[in-house]
Amino acid sequence: MFTITNHFVDQAEFVESPNFSERPEGAEPTLLVIHNISLPPGEFGGSYVVDFFQNNLDSSKHPFFKEIVNLQVSSHLFINRKGNLIQFVELSKKAWHAGASEFEGQKECNDFSIGIELEGTDTEPYSDEQYSSLIDLTQCLIKTYSKITNERIVGHCDIAPTRKTDPGESFDWSRYRSSLA
């Protein structure tokens, strides 16, 4: 079971990303956004996601990396295929995960959301270990940040539908949501 102390998940490895900023005055986490990422696309394991979120991605390692090496993005949390958790940004800060986005008429979802990246693709099934960690983590986040409710948990595809498709058709929303009840 995960716990949070001072906006850090106690059981997570903390690897600070420089890609964050302060939330607007008075803004607090009220939305949870589920994403997926794999680097290179479709490949799992290794340190490339961590490198990417730290602006340390070596563009010589894969042709795709040349396309993204200058992007400055992050997520609050990352769950790898084994269910291990890495935190990149303090939960009270604004991670740069959603980009141009909108939820219930409110733009700039980064201002009021927590982003969780799952190591995966839109089409590859996620692991049981990932679901287990995600469910425990979500329950902890809901307990800690009471304005995040089941109705305020979305996929990246829901807040940026013309740009994003993640977490994709492979994400079992029914399994996930029923486990939160």
**Phi/psi-derived region of residue 104, left when phi > 0, alpha when psi is between -120 and 50, beta in every other case:** left
Catalytic annotation, residues:
117
Cα 171 to Cα 175: distance, rounded to the nearest angstrom: 9
> Is the CB of residue 82 less than 8 Å from the CB of residue 106?
no
In what helix (H) or strand (E) does residue 115 lie, and over which residues does it extend?
A: strand 113-119
Report the C-alpha gap between 107 and 63 in whole angstroms: 33
The C-alpha angle 56, 117, 20, rounded to 5 degrees, equals 55
User: What is the DSSP track for 68-102?
Assistant: HTT-----SEEE-TT--EEE-S-TTSEES-S-S-E
Tokens 């939305």 identify what position?
Answer: 31
CA separation (Å) from 57 to 39, 40, 47, 51, 54? 10, 11, 9, 5, 8
